Amino acid sequence: MARSIGAALKLAREVRVMSAIDVARAASISAAYLSKLENDAVKRPSPPVLHRLSEALAVPYAELMRLCGYAVPGASDAVPGATVETALFADLTDDERAELLEYLAWYRARRRSGRAAV
Express each pLDDT in 56-99 by its tens digit: 999 999 999 999 999 887 765 455 566 888 888 888 888 988 89
* Residues 58-65: contacts with CB under 8 Å, at least 24 apart: 58/12, 58/16, 58/87, 58/90, 58/91, 59/8, 59/12, 59/84, 59/87, 59/88, 60/84, 60/87, 63/8, 63/87, 64/5, 64/8, 64/9
Taking only the tens place, the pLDDT of each residue in 1-22 is: 558 999 999 999 999 989 999 9
Global pTM exceeds 0.85: no
Domain covering 5-91 in this structure, CATH number: 1.10.260.40
Domain ranges of the chain: 5-91
